[in-house]
Amino acid sequence: MPKDNIDILIIGAGIVGVATAATLAESGHKVSVVDHQGICEGTSSGNAGALAFSDILPMASKGVLAKVPGWLMDPLGPFTIRPSYLPRLLPWLYRFWRASSAHMLERTVQAQGAMMRQAEPEMLGLMRRAGIGRMVREDGSLELYETESELNASLPGWSAKRAAGISFEHLRGNQLRECQPGLSSRFIAGTFVPGWKTVSDPKHVGQGLWAYAQNKGAVDLRDKVLSISATDEKVTVQLASGQTINAAKIVIAAGAWSHQLAKCLGDVIPLETERGYNTTLPVGAFDLKRQLIFSGHGFVVTPLETGIRVGGAVELGGLELPPNFKRSEIMLKKAEQFMPGLQSKGGRQWMGYRPSTPDSLPVIGFSSSTRNVLYAFGHGHLGLTQSAITARLISDLIENQEPSIPIDPYSPKRFRS
């Protein structure tokens, strides 16, 4: 039997879907969320916990395709491509290469900067209204370098961030050791970003926002969406349980699976899956003062209330291949070398699917086939960071208000050429 009288159905109960539910419920909308895993039980449960409002540089860079052979040769490196997946990945890599042009990079940095300027007040405001503002940690981050050449290679990126108004300080010697005691002497410098924030635990943040949304009337439907069809009057969603939902509007915020649902509506979105790995060590495994970023090795170490999380890296391998937890193990071994006092026993391994577009910008806007379907996915590493501003933009569109920032850079239409 169909379920009718649903005002807005959000597909996906990750952090973007939950933030969107909370924002819409605040405005009095009748909101339901459907997800087969549960509230923030997927990728949003195991990310690095960063509110990376200063992270405006895209993953694309000049000469990226020249690195592909090396990625294929090093299955445990910070960036890798599963060889069996390469043929399916080639169209995405071509778009990734195009996004690395100077012109495209400049546009992407401007678009990310515009979103990040709104992301911080939106996220902190939503968490405060939800009563979970205490979960934000304002300790900053420390990015570390082993050689002068590595530091020098990072300087153009820091110059771009300075131009965007982002504060930072390069540290050496005693300043570096005071910022994070116990580091290996192999690190000759680091960059401290005071405005970088983390959360006590990303899963707890998502669950806290959901509790707020529930108090405002949002409903959780535990099921898997199989297909979507739309008319001018309504959108019909077929569920794995055999039930059908009819909704006035739907928001697709299903992370790495979103492009499959968009395809039902005729929208071909080049969304790929960055498979991220981590190990969460017990509380007290290291006296960690703030998030440490080992950019040369592609991973971070984050202090959480639930432990020390060592994770990151990028494996382009889609949704179906089995995990390779040797990637978690190699990051943990490196962390032992970089932080000699780290107690590395008793950790929990995890893998998640980051939904990534070639230009590193999310997909936010209406489906090409109907204004009753909106997209809110493709945030890559920045789902937690950009969840609340995405929710605000979706709310603006649903309520026929002028969005708080221009949304053309995030439109699904940008992939048509």
Residue 78 lies in a domain: no
Q: Give me the sign of the Cα torsion angle 180, 58, 402, 390.
A: negative
Under a CB-based contact definition with an 8 Å cutoff, are residues 352 and 46 in contact?
A: yes
pLDDT digits (tens, 9 = 90+) for 8-40: 999 999 999 999 999 999 999 999 999 999 999
Cα(369)–Cα(131) distance, integer angstroms: 38
Reported for 397-404, long-range contacts at CB under 8 A and 24+ positions apart, including other chains, are 397/365, 397/366, 398/8, 398/24, 398/29, 398/249, 398/374, 399/27, 404/118
pLDDT level of residue 128 (50, 70, 90 thresholds): very high
Q: Which residue has the tokens 């959108």?
A: 235
Residue 276 lies in a domain: no
Per-residue confidence (pLDDT) for residue 2, from 0 to 100: 47
Residue 366: strand, helix, or coil: strand
Q: Which residue has the tokens 């968490």?
A: 127
- Average pLDDT score over the chain: 93
The range of the structural domain enclosing residue 7 comes to 1-55+99-134+198-268+359-417
Residue 348 lies in a domain: no
Residue 345 lies in a domain: no
Residue 203 lies in a domain: yes
Q: What is the pTM of this model?
A: 0.95
Residue 252 lies in a domain: yes
Residue 147 has pLDDT above 90, yes or no: yes
Q: How far apart are the first and last CA of the chain?
A: 41
Q: At what angle do helices 202-215 and 102-129 cross, to 10 degrees?
A: 60
Residue 388 has pLDDT above 90, yes or no: yes
Residue 188 has pLDDT above 60, yes or no: yes
Q: Give me the sign of the Cα torsion angle 118, 119, 124, 125.
A: positive
Per-residue confidence (pLDDT) for residue 63, from 0 to 100: 63
Average pLDDT, integer, range 43-50:
92
Give the total number of structural domains in the chain: 1
pLDDT digits (tens, 9 = 90+) for 64-121: 667 778 777 788 888 888 888 999 999 999 999 999 888 899 999 999 999 999 999 9
pLDDT level of residue 417 (50, 70, 90 thresholds): low
Cα 343 off chain centre by: 28
Percent of the chain at pLDDT > 90 equals 85
Per-residue confidence (pLDDT) for residue 232, from 0 to 100: 79
Per-residue confidence (pLDDT) for residue 82, from 0 to 100: 86
| β-strand pairing of 272-281 with 307-316 | antiparallel
Per-residue confidence (pLDDT) for residue 1, from 0 to 100: 39
Average pLDDT, integer, range 281-310:
96
Give every CB contact of residue 66 below 8 A, 6+ residues apart in sequence. none
CATH number of the domain bearing residue 126: 3.50.50.60
Cα 27 off chain centre by: 25
pLDDT digits (tens, 9 = 90+) for 229-286: 998 788 999 999 999 999 999 999 999 999 999 999 999 999 999 999 999 999 999 9
Average pLDDT, integer, range 127-156:
96
Per-residue confidence (pLDDT) for residue 71, from 0 to 100: 74
